[in-house]
């Protein structure tokens, strides 16, 4: 009976082809944790889709009901506190996971040919992840979110030439208000999920096409391989299970707070700070003087960050040494410098607020 159903399915779905493919797919045996963060990010994206859909059943995107609907989810909906807390914590873990994946691929030089397009789609996914974080942060319509969005969209507005128009479109008007909330809601639940899914499909297809990147140079040759299924799948499953454990513990014992409802006519609260993944930028803005090189200070800072991001995106085409299979210590040093800068600025923001 089972065999008959199996044969019926195989005739229609070619299940055996998939099974054969999985049985023959090999991945490098690498005892390094860095190989798992792409999968971890994928897992957390799945968690976000699931909990996000659940939140959509109760959330209302309008200035006079958004905060109240999130409070209702947390206070009255059964397990609402858990769903919302898991969504908020998984968002932070996902950003951490994507950053870790990004930097591990960077330092392992896995962007070298033929994986340049995989790197580019990965950069797009990093951008989508940060945009998810920024747009989702506003949705509970609390005081911190309101000012984070005000500052964040004003930073966009400082971009020379196109900035003011872009800020106008992002905000849905001159100021952050109800129009901004509905727009960010649309980005967060429709536009970004679509863009992320499309990029993710290409990204994963390319990972299949090229296989996993193997360590550079001759230091650890010959590289041993193991079957993708079940060996690697089981290991990855174990890591996902551990991440799920961490997520549930965090969400249960450190429930995500809601804060105070946004009031456009109140002062920004002292000690205000964006989410940790934007803090290094915010802290940099504090140190940049009002005027620099004949431009406004924040414009110089924005152009600087844009230049760094452009260098990161284009690194597969700039790092000619890695492309030839040689070590490229200069690129590594640049990455270390950037990571160090991000860590120091973030620490400064937390240890010495003013």
Partner 1 sequence: MANEDGLSRRRLINWLLSLGSGSLLGVLLYPIIRYVTPADQPEAAVGTAVVGPLRDFPPGSGKVVRFGDRPAIVVRLTGGELRAFSAVCTHLGCTVQYRKDLELIWCPCHNGRFDLTGRNVAGPPPRPLEAFEVAVRGDQVVVSRRA
Indicate which single residue of 87, 112, 115, 150 sits in contact with partner 1 (rule: CB under 8 A): 150
Nearer to partner 1, 175 or 208 (CB): 175
Indicate which single residue of 151, 207, 248, 323 sits in contact with partner 1 (rule: CB under 8 A): 151
**Minimum Å distance from CB 143 to partner 1?**
10
If you ran DSSP here, which 8-state letter would residue 328 be given?
Answer: -
**What is the rounded distance in angstroms from the CA atom of residue 35 to the CA atom of residue 226?**
14
Angle subtended at Cα 8 by Cα 5 and Cα 11, rounded to the nearest 5 degrees: 150
Indicate which single residue of 75, 245, 269, 327 sits in contact with partner 1 (rule: CB under 8 A): 269
| Residue 85, burial from CB neighbour count under 10 angstroms (0-12, 13-18, 19+) | buried
| Residue 279 φ/ψ region, left for φ over 0, alpha for ψ in the -120 to 50 degree band, beta for the rest | alpha
Q: By CB under 8 A, tell whether 175 contacts partner 1.
A: yes
CA-wise closest residue to 148 among 300, 287, 282: 282
If you ran DSSP here, which 8-state letter would residue 352 be given?
Answer: -
**What is the rounded distance in angstroms from the CA atom of residue 185 to the CA atom of residue 344?**
33
Indicate which single residue of 268, 306, 337, 347 sits in contact with partner 1 (rule: CB under 8 A): 268
**What is the rounded distance in angstroms from the CA atom of residue 337 to the CA atom of residue 331?**
10
Per CB under 8 A, the segment of 33-41, 81-89, 152-160, 245-253 that binds partner 1 is 152-160
3-state SS assignment for residue 189: helix
Nearer to partner 1, 325 or 353 (CB): 353
Q: By CB under 8 A, tell whether 154 contacts partner 1.
A: yes
CA distances from residue 116 to 26, 197, 254, 270 in whole angstroms, order as listed? 21, 19, 40, 44
Question: Which residues partner with 303 through β-bridges?
Answer: none
Question: Which residues partner with 226 through β-bridges?
Answer: 27
Nearer to partner 1, 50 or 306 (CB): 306
Indicate which single residue of 178, 285, 313, 318 sits in contact with partner 1 (rule: CB under 8 A): 285
**Minimum Å distance from CB 172 to partner 1?**
5
Nearer to partner 1, 179 or 244 (CB): 179
Q: By CB under 8 A, tell whether 162 contacts partner 1.
A: no
**What is the rounded distance in angstroms from the CA atom of residue 354 to the CA atom of residue 335?**
28
**Minimum Å distance from CB 120 to partner 1?**
23
Per CB under 8 A, the segment of 54-62, 75-83, 149-157, 336-344 that binds partner 1 is 149-157
**Minimum Å distance from CB 167 to partner 1?**
10
Nearer to partner 1, 283 or 328 (CB): 283
Q: By CB under 8 A, tell whether 131 contacts partner 1.
A: no
Residue pair 171/290 in contact by the 8 Å Cβ criterion: no
Q: By CB under 8 A, tell whether 208 contacts partner 1.
A: no
Residue pair 167/156 in contact by the 8 Å Cβ criterion: yes
Q: By CB under 8 A, tell whether 155 contacts partner 1.
A: yes
Within 10 angstroms of residue 175's Cβ, the number of other Cβ atoms is 11
Residue pair 325/217 in contact by the 8 Å Cβ criterion: yes
Indicate which single residue of 1, 31, 267, 351 sits in contact with partner 1 (rule: CB under 8 A): 267
Per CB under 8 A, the segment of 95-103, 174-182, 198-206, 234-242 that binds partner 1 is 174-182
Indicate which single residue of 266, 306, 307, 337 sits in contact with partner 1 (rule: CB under 8 A): 266
Contact residues for partner 1, defined by CB under 8 A? 147, 150-151, 154-155, 158, 168-169, 171-175, 179, 264-272, 282, 285-286, 288-291, 296-298, 354
């Amino acid at each position: 009976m089972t065999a008959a159903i199996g044969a019926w399915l195989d005739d229609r779905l070619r299940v055996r082809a998939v099974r054969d493919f999985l049985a023959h797919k090999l991945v490098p045996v690498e005892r390094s944790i860095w190989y798992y963060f792409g999968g971890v990010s994928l897992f957390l994206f799945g968690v976000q889709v699931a909990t996000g859909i659940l939140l959509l059943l109760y959330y209302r995107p309008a200035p006079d009901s958004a905060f109240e609907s999130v409070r209702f989810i947390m206070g009255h909906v059964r397990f609402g506190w858990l769903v919302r807390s898991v969504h908020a914590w998984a968002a932070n873990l996902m950003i951490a996971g994507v950053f870790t994946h990004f930097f591990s691929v960077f330092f392992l030089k896995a962007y070298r040919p033929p994986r340049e397009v995989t790197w580019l789609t990965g950069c797009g996914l990093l951008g989508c992840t940060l945009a998810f974080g920024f747009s989702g942060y506003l949705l509970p319509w609390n005081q911190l979110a309101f000012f984070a969005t005000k500052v964040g969209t004003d930073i966009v507005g400082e971009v020379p030439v196109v900035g003011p128009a872009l800020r106008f479109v992002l905000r849905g008007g001159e100021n952050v208000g109800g129009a901004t909330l509905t727009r960010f809601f649309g980005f967060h639940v429709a536009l970004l999920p679509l863009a992320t899914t499309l990029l993710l499909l290409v990204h994963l297809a390319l990972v299949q096409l090229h296989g996993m990147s193997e360590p550079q140079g001759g230091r650890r040759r010959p590289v041993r391989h193991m079957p993708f299924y079940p060996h690697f799948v089981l290991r990855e499953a174990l890591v996902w299970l551990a991440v799920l454990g961490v997520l549930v513990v965090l969400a249960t014992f450190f429930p995500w707070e809601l804060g105070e409802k946004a009031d456009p006519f109140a002062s920004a609260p002292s000690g205000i700070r964006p989410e940790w993944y934007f803090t290094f930028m915010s802290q940099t803005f504090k140190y940049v003087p009002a005027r620099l090189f004949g431009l406004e200070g924040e414009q110089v800072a924005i152009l600087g960050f844009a230049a760094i991001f452009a260098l990161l995106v284009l690194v597969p085409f700039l790092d000619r040494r890695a492309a030839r299979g040689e070590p490229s210590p200069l690129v590594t040093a640049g990455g270390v410098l950037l990571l160090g800068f991000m860590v120091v600025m973030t620490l400064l923001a937390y240890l010495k607020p003013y």
